[in-house]
Amino acid sequence: MSDKLYPVSADWASRAYVDDAKYKAMYEASVKAPEAFWGEHGKRIDWMKPYTRVKNTSYDPHNVSIRWFEDGTTNVSYNCVDRHLAKRGDQVAIIWEGDDPKDDAKITYRQLHAEVMKWANVLKSQGVKKGDRVTIYLPMIPEAAYAMLACTRIGAVHSIVFGGFSPDSLAGRIEDAATSVVVTADEGLRGGRKVPLKVNVDAAVDKIPGVVKSVVVVKRTGSPVAMKEGRDHYYADLAATVPDECPPEEMNAEDPLFILYTSGSTGKPKGVLHSTGGYLVYASMTHQYVFDYKDGDIYWCTADVGWVTGHSYIVYGPLANGATTLMFEGIPTYPSISRFWEVVDKHKVNTFYTAPTAIRSLMGAGEEPVKKTSRASLRLLGSVGEPINPEAWEWYHRVVGEGRCPIVDTWWQTETGGILITPLPGATALKPGSATRPFFGVQPEIVDAEGKVLEGACEGNLVISDSWPGQMRTVFGDHDRFVQTYFSTYAGKYFTGDGCRRDADGYYWITGRVDDVINVSGHRMGTAEVESALVAHPKVSEAAVVGYPHDIKGQGIYAYVTLMTGEDPTEELRKELVAWVRKEIGPIASPDLIQFSPGLPKTRSGKIMRRILRKIAEDEFGALGDTSTLADPAVVDDLISNRQNRK
Ligand code: WTA
């Protein structure tokens, strides 16, 4: 929490699309008359057949249904590519910066058009039709954008799986989406290290016999990989055999656009489904206003396309706006800890959008690696993925932005498709650590545990009371789960899963997840997923996973593990379990701390009391609260004396 206020500079208030008065007027209009507001702003994309119906949404738990622009037709790749050709065919669409600073490329809109059409025909040659799903498991190379846009061109639905996920995680996602075609690369390259993508795909496909018919392989490193006859094809070989031209398919606004799997508090990851028209309108509009994007700006979002931030703010939002978007293959610390700022200088980046975890880890190396670069081109900074603590905010503002760049702290989720709560750089006075105010059309409310709507300054759970165009439409293949997860906790409202405080100025401060989801370095992890990976190990009988505060990652993963009778809690086994979870889910799920505990605190009905486990993991065991309902209160003493996090 911070009481500091950073007013909008005169320069920003005059250059931006929106100043404070305009924000207030537009916001007011957007919530008073959503039909009229979105009816107008829906026109920012090109429609083949214009819509006549704007909003048709219901949050009634008996009938959750979300439809926007439902009788309009359009095509996403047309909007992101073709429509820019007349005016900006020779403008750079994608600046690609490789892992090695010597590797880079600039792709114009005209080149992007040719690539996307070629890719679309390659996918067609592998039997992909409108409505089919395609799994994309690629590193951060331009081909990721080509493949995404190619899917949208022919009406296929992409499901991107982050390259850091294990073969098991990949297999689960391929199977759930039932994709017969997988697009991958021989290897990825990050921080000078090779990532065995094709090897992982082979292992994943073997786990789910009969699902995958074709694997399209992009050569990234050129290392030899096993190619299975009849199933695996190098992209270049297929491309040589297909035509150059591919017209965009006419899609209904509500046709599915992509699936993206995300962790929830229970069970396996959910396939969040976004649809065509509303998503694109919302992604492009937020990109324009939040980043105040103007022609000629160089815009860089450091996310991976495997996460929603990469979908909306590397690819779809920027390209729909005819922007120049930078795509970075590498990591912030390679080959040097100044890499981000060197890339900023090299490409004269104006807008830089990253995650707090990156800022915190760079802060640790001090100011010198930043100060030795110029960063004169920077005008605006952004933050996403987790709460940014005021110290990191101040450092980002003072050291990276030299006090002259506003920071847009953007709160949103995979489910929301685009940014919901955020400052606008020409309109909003900033408070370090606050995501500030809602974007147009977004109606946040704070409710208490019983669902009572709280007024004024308050703290509770964050819900959204009405729909916006970028909202997810369903959980792929499981509409009931969609309703249960988001609309049943507080009937008639979208429940975000986040806690939130509103201050006297009406500013929102996200306090973190209130469910069993933890946020590790800006990546969402379901504690249930890590637990099921642990109990799959033959020596583990039971596991409970909670988050705890971590200086760099925001939250770390703390696992309580009960071993099978007779197994020894050795240091070796601890290492083995960490490696096991990495193998089962992926490196992002590695437990930071493992506590071997002979028993877990359970109620008499056998329910694990996570509240107690969280407190002990936080090293706050003085405040355990009532433990009298535990079946065996003595368990707690053992947990405390063997705790792994001692501040
Ligand atoms: C958290 C990432 C505080 C939040 C776009 C949310 C944030 C979850 C912020 C979604 C922010 C995201 N301030 N918390 N600016 N942005 N979060 O689906 O807990 O990967 O529910 O989407 O990240 O994570 P997801």
Beta carbon of 486 within 6 Å of any ligand 1 atom:
no
Taking alpha carbons only, the member of 250, 220, 240, 219 closest to residue 125 is: 240
Query: Which spans in 99-234 are helix H?
Result: 109-125, 142-154, 167-177, 197-207
Ordered by start, the domain boundaries in the chain are: 521-642
pLDDT at 501 over 90: yes
CATH number for the domain formed by residue range(s) 521-642? 3.30.300.30
Report whether residue 547 contacts ligand 1, using a CB cutoff of 6 Å. no
Please write the tens of the pLDDT for every residue from 448-461: 999 999 999 999 99
Could you tell me the distance, in angstroms and rounded to a whole number, from the CA of residue 309 to the centre of ligand 1? 10
Ligand 1 neighbourhood includes 510 CB (under 6 angstroms) = yes
Residue 401 pLDDT class (50, 70, 90 cuts):
very high
Give the number of other CB atoms < 10 A from CB of residue 201: 26
Asked whether residue 191 is marked as a ligand-binding residue, the answer is yes
Q: What does the DSSP assignment read for 59-121?
A: --TTS-EEEESTT-EE-HHHHHTGGGHHHHTTSEEEEEE-SSTT-EEEEEHHHHHHHHHHHHH
ipTM, interface predicted TM-score of the complex: 1.00
- Helix spans in 261-414 (H): 276-290, 308-310, 317-320, 339-347, 356-363, 368-371, 390-395
Q: Which helix (H) or strand (E) holds 446?
A: strand 444-447
* Average pLDDT of span 97-122: 98
Rg (CA), the chain: 24
pLDDT tens figures, 425-436: 999 999 999 999
Contacts of 580 (CB under 8 A, 6+ apart): 533, 534, 536, 537
Give the distance from CA 602 to its chain's centroid.
34
Per-residue pLDDT of 236-281, as tens digits, reads 999 999 999 999 999 999 999 999 999 887 778 999 999 999 999 9
305 lines ligand 1 (CB under 6 A): no
Write out the two tokens for 226.
């096993």
Q: Are strands 351-354 and 324-328 parallel, antiparallel or unpaired?
A: unpaired
Pocket test for ligand 1, best of 412, 421, 527, 555 (most atoms within 8 A of CB): 412
**Percent of the chain scoring above 90 in pLDDT:** 95
pLDDT digits (tens, 9 = 90+) for 150-163: 999 999 999 999 99
Q: How many angstroms separate the CA atoms of 104 and 106, rounded?
A: 7
CA-CA distance, 210 to 208, in Å (whole number)?
A: 6
Residues of the chain with pLDDT > 70, as a percent, come to 100
- From the list 357, 644, 358, 639, the residue with the least C-alpha distance to 519 is 357
Is a pLDDT exceeding 70 seen at residue 2? no
Q: How much is the pTM?
A: 0.96
Average pLDDT over residues 484-511: 97
Among 413, 508, 518, name the best residue to mutate to test ligand 1's pocket (greatest count of ligand atoms within 8 A of Cβ): 413
Cβ atoms of residues 310 and 302 within 8 Å: no
Tell me the per-residue pLDDT of 170-228, one tens digit each, with 9 for 90 and over. 999 999 999 999 999 999 999 999 999 999 999 999 999 999 999 999 999 999 999 99
Is the pLDDT at 560 greater than 60, yes or no? yes
Name 408's bridge partners. 382
Among 467, 473, 487, smallest CA distance to 157 is for 473
Phi, psi of 233 (to 5 degrees): -140, 140
Ligand 1 atom closest to residue 435's alpha carbon, by position in its atom list: 15
Maximal C-alpha separation, the chain: 74
Position 1 scores a pLDDT of 56
Average pLDDT over residues 355-376: 96
> What pLDDT, on the 0 to 100 scale, is given for residue 162?
97
Cα–Cα dist 498/515, whole Å: 8
Q: Is 286 annotated as a binding residue?
A: no
Q: How far is the CA of 477 from the centre of ligand 1 (A)?
A: 24
Query: Band of the pLDDT at 518, cuts 50, 70, 90?
Result: very high
User: Is the CB–ligand 1 distance for residue 532 below 6 Å?
Assistant: no
CA of 411 to the centre of ligand 1 (A): 6
SS3 298: strand
Distance CA 400, CA 359 (A): 9
pLDDT of 597 strictly over 90: yes
Ligand 1 pocket, residue 176 CB under 6 Å: no
Which residues of 467-535 form beta strands (DSSP E)? 474-475, 494-502, 508-513, 517-520, 523-526
Distance in Å, CA 328 to ligand 1 centroid? 21
Tens digits of residue pLDDT in 134-146: 999 999 999 999 9
